[in-house]
């Protein structure tokens, strides 16, 4: 690979000094990733509705940031208001305030005016004409008002339970109630079943596509909910709560039951963030802060709707295909034909699948053929994120009904997919499938599908491995690489992994797979040391790693040591990277870039070269990022791509284009900031879309 990659920044050296520079801040790294996503919403070359979609993606990402990353920081700040934890919370909060302010500025000053120029408008009450106001009033009275139950607060009507990320209104009322009391604060909880964006009929839209937000509809008619009272002030509000939880060993006796119990409590976890509109009066937001026991720094006064995520309904409802990305239909792999069975083709030759540029359908066809083939005796699969509706899960259920041995390793603790996975587990068990939940304390994140087939007097196994989830929908949105193989070394190792997940036996030394938490971390460090020693000896020494996050201290130090030895290192890290590149004499041989484009970069690829001989290089694909949780807190796998043609294809499609991307790439600086490489150059994703659209598919 070295002939296609940038040269080393400095010649190999022989220094044995090991530096341990301070790592970059993780929360800042996560927020900076969202700034890169938000920058997509400012690009004139991105279709307009897709620009709005990037705004909503940032909102969704920030919701999860507050739900998962901020609870511990807030708890530390409240426990010791004068301690370092409080200062850290305030610093992260200040950074979060800045990006949210930037997000609303992009939304109000760039995206919405541009949409209006395309005759797609969101009308507030003040801007609606008489016909539109009449229609909205009718919609409110018929569809909204019957579902609203305002609660005026008094000793017998305490502040209601407000669910995580739900839409609510608070109002200050004048006058007295029907019983002569001056209870002056009321809460209106808005049911989730109501649409947040409503499209007005064309007949009253004046040749435009006119949308109204539910918040605007309720705001315009809020006074009608309080007959005989005066609404003196009001605001919409939304609270974000702690949504993370870990089950301890005492709860693991019945994991599914324990999880269901936790899921019922998740919507009412500890409050972390309060959002109100910028016009919210101080007395109302201070009242809310007191109710939710939050400091002032946890208040976010936003210049627009408090939940921009719901504007996805506008994106989906607008009739304007020209304002979306051009339709891209993934290609069918050239080496797979419609005629022979999948088993025959895989037995003949390994198949590499590069999603979303290539279709996910071959994976479905592989499983579907296994379900229908009488010679297939057993199907074993790991399940992490499949979604509430899943063709794959329906196929596994069908296989069990047909009498095949089905083992499903269902990860019940896949964050925010727990309920869907519990439901699938119950349906699988109901038809006789064997369902296990992996290992207590270790999430099963590996992506494996193993089929055992009788062929003559022997049994043969066929295997699909992947860097991404078994989810056909996200396979059109995320970049991932999968491999279909009948290689006995890989299939034997996969069988051993399933045996361990089912009965927790000790693994024999794998022949090819690198499972975590047993081998993967150690092998990555070993390869980094090999590269470093090669650099010191004046041999070719190269590392290229493409992952979603780099936060594990030991792996970071291994990269730093290899860099100091003179190895040339390129890291393509989509999200959080805590390694500061470009520090003179320490990490000046390391370059870090992040690519943010049309598709979510999700592929994990690790390439190491420690000499000039053919056996002095190795390339792995993996389900694991370089994070401590992946290396020690999850069941993960990495596997070597041994076929020279397939290995070169991974390099040519999964690494080289990203190293030279000058359109969607950002370069990490030593201080943790990012600089865009440009906007007018070559896009790695764009080049791959063009390649597959024109039928130039890599396998021959």
Residue count (the chain): 700
256 with 269, same domain: the answer is yes
Q: Which helix (H) or strand (E) holds 595?
A: strand 590-595
Q: Is residue 336 part of a domain?
A: no
Looking up residue 537, the CATH number of its domain turns out to be 3.30.870.10
Q: What is the pLDDT of residue 609?
A: 98
- For the stretch 245-254, pLDDT in tens is 666 545 545 6
Q: What is the pLDDT of residue 197?
A: 97
> 337-341, 451-455, 597-601, 685-689: lowest mean pLDDT where?
337-341
**Residue 113 in this model has a pLDDT that exceeds 90:** yes
Q: C-alpha distances in angstroms, 499 versus 407, 408, 425?
A: 10, 12, 19
Strand partners, 352: 483
Q: Among 362, 412, 357, 359, which Cα is nearest to 383's?
A: 412
Instruction: Tell me if residue 445 is catalytic.
Output: yes
Q: Is residue 30 part of a domain?
A: no
Rounded distance between C-alpha atoms, residue 68 and residue 61, angstroms: 11
Sorting pLDDT into bands at 50, 70 and 90, what band is 2? very low
| Dihedral (CA of 35, 92, 164, 254) sign | positive
Q: What is the pLDDT of residue 251?
A: 53
**Residue 9 in this model has a pLDDT that exceeds 50:** no
Q: Among 36, 89, 136, which Cα is nearest to 668's?
A: 36
- For the stretch 627-677, pLDDT in tens is 999 999 999 999 999 999 999 999 999 999 999 999 999 999 999 999 999
237 with 124, same domain: the answer is yes
434 with 450, same domain: the answer is yes
539 with 390, same domain: the answer is no
3-state secondary structure of 576: coil
102 with 219, same domain: the answer is yes
Percentage of the chain beyond pLDDT 70 is 93
Pairing of strands 478-485, 458-466: antiparallel
Rounded distance between C-alpha atoms, residue 215 and residue 279, angstroms: 14
For residues 261 and 315, which has the higher predicted lDDT (pLDDT)? 315
Q: Is residue 289 part of a domain?
A: yes
DSSP 158: P
Q: What is the pLDDT of residue 697?
A: 45
Q: Mean pLDDT score of the chain, rounded to an integer?
A: 92
The last residue of one of the domains, among 511, 530, 559, is: 511
Looking up residue 275, the CATH number of its domain turns out to be 3.30.1840.10
3-state secondary structure of 365: helix
Rounded distance between C-alpha atoms, residue 280 and residue 519, angstroms: 55
Q: Is residue 41 part of a domain?
A: no
For residues 414 and 347, which has the higher predicted lDDT (pLDDT)? 347
Structural domain total, the chain: 3
- For the stretch 27-77, pLDDT in tens is 999 999 999 999 999 999 999 999 999 999 999 999 999 999 999 999 999
58 with 72, same domain: the answer is yes
Q: Is residue 24 part of a domain?
A: no
Q: At a CB cut-off of 8 Å and minimum separation 6, what does 355 contact?
A: 330, 468, 475, 476, 478, 479, 480, 481, 482
Q: What is the pLDDT of residue 178?
A: 67
370 with 233, same domain: the answer is no
Contact, 325 vs 597, CB < 8 A?
Answer: no
3-state secondary structure of 179: coil
64 with 206, same domain: the answer is yes
522 with 623, same domain: the answer is yes
Q: Is residue 401 part of a domain?
A: yes
207 with 64, same domain: the answer is yes
Q: Is residue 415 part of a domain?
A: yes
Q: What is the pLDDT of residue 8?
A: 40
The whole domain housing 382 covers 342-511
Active-site residue identified among 445, 521, 527, 602: 445
- For the stretch 343-402, pLDDT in tens is 999 999 999 999 999 999 999 999 999 999 999 999 999 998 887 889 999 999 999 999
665 with 562, same domain: the answer is yes
For residue 415, count CB atoms less than 10 angstroms from its CB and return exposed for 0-12, middle for 13-18, buried for 19 or more.
Answer: middle
Q: What is the pLDDT of residue 342?
A: 96
172 with 303, same domain: the answer is yes
Per-residue pLDDT averaged across 324-339, rounded? 90
Q: What is the pLDDT of residue 246?
A: 65
Rounded distance between C-alpha atoms, residue 246 and residue 262, angstroms: 9
């Amino acid at each position: 690979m070295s002939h296609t990659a940038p040269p080393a920044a400095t010649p190999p050296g022989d220094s044995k000094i090991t530096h341990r520079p301070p790592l970059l801040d993780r929360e800042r790294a996560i927020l900076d990733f969202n700034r890169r996503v938000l920058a997509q919403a400012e690009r004139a070359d991105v279709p307009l509705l897709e620009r709005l979609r990037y705004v909503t993606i940032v909102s969704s990402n920030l919701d999860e940031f507050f739900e998962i990353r901020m609870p511990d920081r807030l708890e530390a700040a409240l426990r010791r208001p004068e301690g370092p934890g409080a200062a850290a919370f305030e610093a992260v909060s200040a950074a979060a305030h800045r990006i949210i302010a930037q997000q609303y500025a992009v939304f109000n000053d760039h995206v919405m005016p541009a949409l209006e120029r395309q005759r797609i408008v969101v009308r507030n009450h003040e801007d609606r004409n008489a016909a539109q106001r009449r229609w909205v009033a009718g919609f409110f009275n018929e569809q909204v008002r019957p579902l609203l139950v305002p609660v005026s607060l008094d000793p017998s009507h305490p502040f209601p339970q407000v669910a995580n990320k739900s839409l609510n209104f608070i109002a200050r009322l004048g006058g007295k109630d029907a019983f002569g009391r001056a209870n002056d604060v009321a809460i209106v909880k808005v049911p989730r079943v109501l649409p947040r964006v409503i499209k007005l009929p064309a007949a009253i839209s004046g040749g435009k596509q006119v949308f109204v937000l539910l918040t605007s509809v309720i705001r315009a008619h809020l006074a009608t909910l309080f007959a005989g009272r005066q609404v003196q002030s009001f605001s919409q509000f939304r609270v974000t709560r702690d949504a993370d939880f870990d089950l301890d060993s005492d709860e693991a006796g019945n994991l599914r039951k324990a999880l269901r119990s936790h899921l019922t409590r998740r919507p009412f976890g500890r409050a972390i963030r309060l959002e109100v509109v910028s016009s919210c009066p101080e007395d109302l937001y201070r009242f809310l802060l007191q109710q939710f026991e939050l400091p002032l720094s946890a208040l976010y006064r936003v210049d627009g709707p408090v939940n921009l995520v719901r504007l996805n309904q506008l994106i989906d409802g607008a009739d304007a295909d020209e304002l979306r990305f051009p339709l891209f239909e993934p290609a069918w792999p050239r080496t797979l034909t419609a005629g022979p069975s999948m088993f025959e083709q895989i037995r003949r030759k390994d198949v590499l699948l590069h999603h979303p540029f290539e279709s996910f359908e071959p994976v479905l066809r592989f499983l579907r053929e296994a379900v229908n083939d009488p010679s297939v005796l057993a199907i074993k699969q790991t399940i992490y994120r499949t979604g509430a509706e899943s063709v794959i899960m329906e196929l596994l259920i069908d296989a069990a009904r047909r009498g095949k041995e089905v083992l499903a390793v269902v990860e019940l603790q896949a964050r925010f997919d727990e309920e869907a996975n519990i439901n699938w587990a119950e349906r699988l068990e109901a038809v006789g499938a064997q369902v296990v939940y992996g290992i207590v304390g270790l999430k099963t994140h590996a992506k494996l599908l193993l089929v055992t087939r009788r062929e003559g007097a022997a049994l043969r196994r066929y295997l699909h491995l992947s860097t991404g989830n078994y989810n056909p929908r996200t396979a059109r949105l995320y970049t991932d690489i999968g491999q279909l193989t009948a290689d006995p070394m890989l299939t034997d190792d996969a069988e051993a992994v399933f045996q361990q997940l089912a009965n927790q036996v000790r693994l024999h030394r794998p022949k090819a797979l690198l499972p975590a938490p047993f081998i993967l971390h150690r092998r990555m460090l070993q390869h980094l040391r090999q590269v470093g020693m090669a650099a010191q000896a004046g041999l070719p020494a190269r590392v290229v790693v493409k992952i979603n996050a780099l936060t594990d201290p030991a792996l970071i130090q291994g990269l730093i040591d290899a860099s100091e030895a003179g190895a040339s290192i390129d890291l393509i890290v989509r999200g959080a990277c805590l390694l500061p590149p470009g520090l003179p004499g320490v990490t000046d041989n390391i370059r870090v870039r992040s690519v943010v484009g049309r598709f979510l970069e999700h592929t994990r690829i690790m390439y190491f070269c420690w000499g000039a001989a053919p056996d002095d290089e190795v390339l792995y694909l993996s389900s694991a990022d370089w994070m401590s949780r992946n290396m020690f807190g999850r069941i993960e796998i990495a596997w070597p791509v041994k076929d020279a043609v397939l290995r070169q294809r991974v390099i040519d499609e999964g690494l080289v284009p990203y190293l030279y991307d000058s359109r969607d790439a950002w370069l990490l600086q030593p201080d943790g900031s990012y600089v865009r490489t440009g906007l007018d150059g070559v896009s790695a994703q764009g080049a791959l879309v063009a390649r597959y659209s024109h039928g130039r598919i890599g396998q021959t």
